[in-house]
Chain A
Amino acid sequence: MSETLVFPSLPMVRCARCGRIDTSMRSVCAGCLSSDLRPEPVAGVGRVVSFTTIRRAPTQFRDQAPYDVVVVDLDAGLRVTGRLAADSRRPEIGSRVHAIRAERADTLFMVSEQA
């Protein structure tokens, strides 16, 4: 079984008119302004573009600090911002990651085992 089936997908949308895939937090397609946006699960696998450790966190996340934020280029061609799981191995730029939780823009990634 491939990892794209094992791990949760990211809940994106696809425009029924022009086919553009984008994040779900929008009322119209930024490509053609159509409001006919359909759910489009996207595999939560990709590579780390960059990462940082947040030590001074916003109030609602204070009890979780320090934590790592990652920017990930998904294999599906989208770039997303997410959180690295506390028990993940340390990433490097270019590390393979996979999502272990994904709701709207709240995505938790884990560094994948080397192939």
Chain B
Amino acid sequence: MREVVIVGIGSTPFGRHAGTPIEQLAVSAAAQAIVDAGVDRERIGALYLGNFISGPLNGKEVLAGIVADQLGLPNIPCTKVEGACASGGIAFRHAWMAIASGQCDAAIAVGAETMTHATTAQSTAALNCAMDNEHDGPSGLTFPGLFGLAWRVHAQRYGTTRAQVSAVVRKNKRNGLLNPLAQMGAELTDEQIDSSATICDPLQLYDCCPTSDGAAAVVLVARSMLREVTGVPVDILAAIQTRGASRIAGHPDLCSFDATVSAAQRAFQAAGVAAADVDVVELHDCFSIAEVIDSEDLGLIPRGQGAAWAAEGRTAVDGDVAINPSGGLLAKGHPVGATGLGQLYEVVQQLRGTHPNQVPDARIGMTHNLGGTGVACTVSLLRAAS
């Protein structure tokens, strides 16, 4: 396989983009990434677009071709990929594969979603398409419900408390205040979190990510093509995709996702780095307890201690491992199909040393994107160019 580097990034703000068509958000982010890369569009050999629910919510499909058309790209293969909340990460991995395998020398991965125009009933119904509905649908379970189940097991087994989990919420909301792209940064008190509405016991309102619109994109090239571009490169050490159980009851442990565990193990092996080497990670905190579980599944924090580490400040920007300095999904927002590429946008900035909430001396960065009830996962490891 050939070595691949990221040379360009682009993103819209995450939040409300009322009235802006999804393809225009995607094109804005992609155009930024192409300009940032300084790549000749004629050299781009493939486009992958991550999107989850533009069909049900916008009545729009074939977005990959529509976006390429508006970008003035050549007659290249343009492919939309879907893996629920991991759609963006999957698009990135496919773009990486196209170059690593020698199919082309440059590729672009774009992720986009618009959700805020829909009613809660419409977006809930669309998001619930990410479940194995034959098995889990009849119970009336929802995605917050899945993480309510997980939280209860984590609390019982490890003694995780509301106050410890609130430390995750407060950290990510505070980080979001420093990120100009974030939808909902805030300085919150424990009392505000404690008194917010209960969504799915024990999950409360501030434990849940908002509904968002947005798009993000990255341009990748083969290392051998670096002299043809001007963007500041970041090395891709690993780009892994895995599958987990498709139904809730398929998970042997409700507070661990097999797909994350195996993706992280394969990524560390492929990259030749250890979990202790990771300086910064953007991981899939769709709910506060998800950050706790993800950080343990990724091997960054010992099992059962994820929430305690947050409470002790060890996951802050200046902590042992900086988790979600962007604000994460909780504060930055979660435009589903764009999220995985938004994470890459953030980590590339960290490794270039240009992030508005910079982790000091960040050298190794990680992204983690989880889809459905843990059925799809991508993990990438990136390294600052030496």
Contact = CB atoms under 8 A, between A and B. Distances in A.
Contacts of B138: 83, 104-107
A43 to B, nearest CB: 16
B228 to A, nearest CB: 48
Given A55-B199, A58-B128, A81-B248, A105 B135 contact: yes
A54 B140 contact: yes
Given A50-B149, A50-B152, A81-B136, A71 B248 contact: yes
A23 B199 contact: no
B50 interface: no
Contact of A69 (B128, B149, B247): B149
Contacts of A35: none
Contacts of B137: 105
Nearest to A48: B152
Interface residues of A, number: 31
Contacts of A53: 148, 198, 200-201
A23 B135 contact: yes
Contacts of A56: 120, 124, 142, 144, 199-200
Contacts of A55: 197-200
A33 interface: no
Nearest to B254: A50
A80 interface: yes
B104 interface: no
Contacts of B203: 52
Nearest to B140: A61
A105 B134 contact: yes
Interface in B173-198: 197-198
Interface in B118-163: 120-121, 124-125, 128, 134-142, 144-145, 148-150, 152-153, 156
Given A52-B203, A81-B247, A105-B135, 4 more contacts: A54-B200, A65-B140, A83-B138, A105-B134
16 contacts: A25-B135, A49-B149, A49-B153, A50-B150, A50-B152, A54-B142, A54-B200, A58-B125, A61-B140, A65-B140, A81-B139, A83-B139, A93-B156, A105-B135, A105-B138, A105-B139
